[in-house]
Amino acid sequence: MCSTSAVLTTSLDAARTVAVREVPEPTVQRPTDAVVRVTATCICGSDLHSYRGAGAGLPLLMGHEFLGVVTDVGSAVTTVAPGDLVVPHFAVVDGTCPSCRRGFPGSCARLSFYGLPDAEGVPTVGGQSERVRVPLADGTLVRVGDRPADVTDGDLLALSDVMGTGHHAAVSAGVGPGSTVVVVGDGAVGLSAVLAARRLGAERVVVLSRHPDRAALARQLGATDVVAERGREGVAAVRELLGRDGADAVCECVGSQDAVDTAVALTRPGGAVGFVGAPQAVLPFRRLFMRNVRAGGGVAPVRAYLPELLDAVLAGGLRPGRVFDRELPLAEAAEGYRAMDAREAVKVLLRP
Amino acid sequence: MCSTSAVLTTSLDAARTVAVREVPEPTVQRPTDAVVRVTATCICGSDLHSYRGAGAGLPLLMGHEFLGVVTDVGSAVTTVAPGDLVVPHFAVVDGTCPSCRRGFPGSCARLSFYGLPDAEGVPTVGGQSERVRVPLADGTLVRVGDRPADVTDGDLLALSDVMGTGHHAAVSAGVGPGSTVVVVGDGAVGLSAVLAARRLGAERVVVLSRHPDRAALARQLGATDVVAERGREGVAAVRELLGRDGADAVCECVGSQDAVDTAVALTRPGGAVGFVGAPQAVLPFRRLFMRNVRAGGGVAPVRAYLPELLDAVLAGGLRPGRVFDRELPLAEAAEGYRAMDAREAVKVLLRP
């Protein structure tokens, strides 16, 4: 006799309409699959793009950042086993193709996304669920191992995307010991970029923020200065603060035209901008060219950074879970979306 | 009694109309000046932009690449003396401002250009002249010192701009030992990028060229492959040649939209494009972002590279003068412009 149980999953049914409903329990479908029981998940800034502008392809199964315990694996899985606490990468990757081996899993030959069919066409649920089938488990999941008592679920959950994305902004902007850094964006990615920049040795980290709560959090995470002005006034204020013609490194964590232009204007000649905000903008090519400002970044290669950042959490005191400022039961995901959309919360952790 | 002598200088009087005429002999005007007797000068691809499209500000005194012997210096000049063979940087820079000290002389606080007034408003002639007043001589001129018999004037002259610009393309594209490289552009800058890429350790250097003469020269300078196809066919041909999804490093030495798009398409995920062609194009931001392709480059910091590249010429066997394929007397500058405009010559050396 076959008993089918059900699990909760999150669905965007229309713009600003999120439902949590039952779907059949995910099971291993392929030898390379694992099933993960989710212990914590969360809402990403990019989920809000869909939430606000929801276009084609609805209903959309939501979520790509989660943390959980493996409950079942296919016969070909070798790196994780039932009972293991794992951080899943925000997208499914094989870990073996040329792009993965070169450290750019975002260009993986078998890339797929939670909530959509995998590279073989088999559907998956999103990460904002009680359980998730993870294709290509060996490439996608990272085993946590021994966990110190003061490491929170949020600290580990942040490694599945947001912390690695902030780290990518800082790495792409060339942050190193002694750097002066500007972070454009006071959302969870921007705040993670602050953490990353300090960890990489930045001496000065200026955050652009007009939200007193976020500015205070940025300072807690290591920002040395906060500038509330925007646009031309913001550029002038930062230059005056740094006493020179811009920062060595600018982390662009928004993606809008204003943010991109501000980031480029705030970079000194010969400096670099790291872009991680999904670009809805034109790059000012001539301006970059005349000042030899380098532009790097893109879809963050979070899987490649995961071992290093996991080690920094487990042994190095990195606490990226501090970007979560609200926790709700998974069943109340809709309220989490509302709060983030209204900018009442920086980042909402959902607890299945 | 004051005797005024005259020297020849080159002037763009109208589109495609170049004249060589007499002007009063340049003399030291400021304590930081030097006067250089030009022994070799040449025509730059950027001179052709003015030649073809000549807009406002005519007549324009031409030329910014030259080689010569110091004949006189102001009282504050300490690094060069009369009799010294010197390579002038293609623009006047002070060498002491924050941008110069950080290696980005193109953003020098006292930047000025030959043929235009200097930072104090005193006029200069262009480099395509018999003699040139060089403001800020300590920042701008590099003394050659002992010169091996097989080092040509062209080898030294190339250091004033074109070789350093090709080098900047390769450096900005991150070329290193073992790199696979594509060079977009078979002009003198592209050919210099070939030399630079090989010098930096590139294993494979593919040049896009449809000119049999330039293709042959590219191979002599170290290109391992030449691809004659353009656009989509060119991209497919290079990818097939490299057996993968693009090169580690692409040197963009043209600046047109086609060239920029081709350069980005030919870069592997996580690779880099070095731009040195004056941008008359839009950067495909989303495409760069999705594949984590870095964009670097700009106005080449030739002055910062000059000591290293001069050493490579004097002691390391670098022979960048091979990009000159025609020599004319300065008085025949107009013919030199015509030949380069018609693409009959790669780069013309003018001999005063």
Report chain A residues whose CB lies below 8 A from the CB of B285.
279, 281-283
Domain end point (choices A297, A317, A342): A297
CA distance B36 to B234: 45
Whole-number average pLDDT of chain A: 95
Tell me, yes or no, whether B201 and B94 share the same domain.
no
Which DSSP symbol is given to A112? Answer: B
The reported pLDDT for the residue numbered A54 is 63
The reported pLDDT for the residue numbered B231 is 85
Q: How far is CA A93 from CA A301, B73, B180, in A?
A: 11, 65, 25
Q: Cis link prior to B59 (omega < 30° from 0)?
A: yes
Whole-number average pLDDT of chain B: 95
Judge whether A275 and A261 are in contact, CB under 8 Å.
no
Q: What is the mean pLDDT of residues B271-294?
A: 93
| Closest chain B residue by Cα to residue A286 | B279
Q: Which residue, among A67, A74, A96, has the nearest Cα to A330 in the 3D structure?
A: A67
**pLDDT at residue A2 greater than cutoff 60:** no
The reported pLDDT for the residue numbered A243 is 82
Q: What is the mean pLDDT of residues A226-242?
A: 93
Judge whether B139 and B100 are in contact, CB under 8 Å.
yes
In this structure, of B47-61, B91-105, B293-307, the range with the lowest mean pLDDT score is B47-61
Among candidates B99, B269, B296 on the partner chain, residue whose Cβ is nearest the Cβ of A107: B269
How many domains would you assign to chain B? 2
Helix axes A231-242, A257-265, angle to 10 degrees: 30
Q: Which residue, among B9, B125, B6, B140, has the nearest Cα to B73 in the 3D structure?
A: B140
| pLDDT band, residue A279 (cuts 50/70/90) | confident
**Sheet containing strand B17-24, strands side by side:** B17-24, B6-14, B60-61
Tell me, yes or no, whether B64 and B113 share the same domain.
yes
Interface-testing mutation among A285, A293, A302, A305, with chain B (most B C-beta atoms within 10 A): A285
Q: How far is CA A160 from CA A229, A287, A298, A325, B20, in A?
A: 32, 35, 16, 17, 67
A99 contacts B245? CB cut-off 8 A: yes
The reported pLDDT for the residue numbered B201 is 98
Tell me, yes or no, whether B191 and B227 share the same domain.
yes
Tell me, yes or no, whether B123 and B203 share the same domain.
no
Domain end point (choices A253, A279, A297): A297
Assess if residue B137 is contained within a domain: yes
CA distance A172 to B292: 9
Domain end point (choices B297, B317, B341): B297
Q: Which residues, at least 6 apart from A174, have a Cβ–Cβ distance to it below 8 Å?
A: A248, A249, A271, A272, A274, A294, A296
- Asked if B298 is an interface residue toward chain A (Cβ–Cβ < 8 A), one would say yes
**pLDDT at residue A113 greater than cutoff 70:** yes
**pLDDT at residue A58 greater than cutoff 90:** no
Q: Which residue, among B109, B112, B113, has the nearest Cα to B101 in the 3D structure?
A: B109
Judge whether B156 and B319 are in contact, CB under 8 Å.
no
**pLDDT at residue A1 greater than cutoff 60:** no
Q: Which residues, at least 6 apart from A113, have a Cβ–Cβ distance to it below 8 Å?
A: A64, A91, A92
Q: Residue A195: which domain range?
A: 164-297
Structure confidence by residue, pLDDT tens digits, B191-227 = 999 999 999 999 999 999 999 999 999 999 999 999 9
| pLDDT band, residue B2 (cuts 50/70/90) | very low
Tell me, yes or no, whether B310 and B281 share the same domain.
no
The domain that holds B184 is classified in CATH as: 3.40.50.720
Assess if residue A1 is contained within a domain: no
Q: What is the mean pLDDT of residues B228-244?
A: 91
Size of interface A-B (CB pairs under 8 A): 108
Which DSSP symbol is given to A71? Answer: E
Among candidates A285, A298, A301 on the partner chain, residue whose Cβ is nearest the Cβ of B289: A298
Tell me, yes or no, whether B17 and B147 share the same domain.
yes
Tell me, yes or no, whether B115 and B264 share the same domain.
no
Assess if residue B1 is contained within a domain: no
Assess if residue A324 is contained within a domain: yes
Tell me, yes or no, whether B127 and B270 share the same domain.
no
The reported pLDDT for the residue numbered A280 is 85
Kindly write down the DSSP assignment for every residue of A208-220, as one continuous string: E---HHHHHHHHH
Q: What is the mean pLDDT of residues A161-176?
A: 98
Tell me, yes or no, whether A280 and A329 share the same domain.
no
**pLDDT at residue A3 greater than cutoff 70:** no
Going along chain A, which residue ranges are E strands? 6-14, 17-24, 34-42, 60-61, 66-73, 85-88, 131-134, 141-143, 180-184, 204-208, 225-227, 247-252, 267-275, 294-297, 326-329, 348-351
Q: What is the mean pLDDT of residues A199-210?
A: 97
**pLDDT at residue B135 greater than cutoff 90:** yes
Among candidates B244, B288, B292 on the partner chain, residue whose Cβ is nearest the Cβ of A301: B292
Assess if residue B231 is contained within a domain: yes
The reported pLDDT for the residue numbered B1 is 39
The domain that holds B121 is classified in CATH as: 3.90.180.10
| pLDDT band, residue B264 (cuts 50/70/90) | very high
Tokens (6 digits) for A352: 């299945």
Structure confidence by residue, pLDDT tens digits, B316-340 = 899 999 999 999 999 999 999 999 9
ipTM for the assembly: 0.92
Tell me, yes or no, whether B262 and B344 share the same domain.
no
The reported pLDDT for the residue numbered B54 is 63
Q: What is the mean pLDDT of residues A7-25?
A: 96
Tell me, yes or no, whether B170 and B56 share the same domain.
no
Structure confidence by residue, pLDDT tens digits, B170-183 = 999 999 999 999 99
Assess if residue B99 is contained within a domain: yes
The answer for B 90-119 residues in CB contact with A (under 8 A) is 98-99, 102-104, 106-107
Q: How far is B23 from chain A (nearest CA, A)?
A: 32
Report chain B residues whose CB lies below 8 A from the CB of A103.
270
Structure confidence by residue, pLDDT tens digits, B136-154 = 999 999 999 999 999 999 9
Tell me, yes or no, whether B124 and B11 share the same domain.
yes
Q: What is the mean pLDDT of residues A82-95?
A: 98
| pLDDT band, residue B58 (cuts 50/70/90) | confident
Among candidates B98, B270, B298 on the partner chain, residue whose Cβ is nearest the Cβ of A104: B270
Structure confidence by residue, pLDDT tens digits, B72-113 = 999 999 999 999 999 999 999 999 998 899 898 988 999 999
Q: For chain A, what is the total number of helices (H) and then of strands (E)?
A: 12, 16
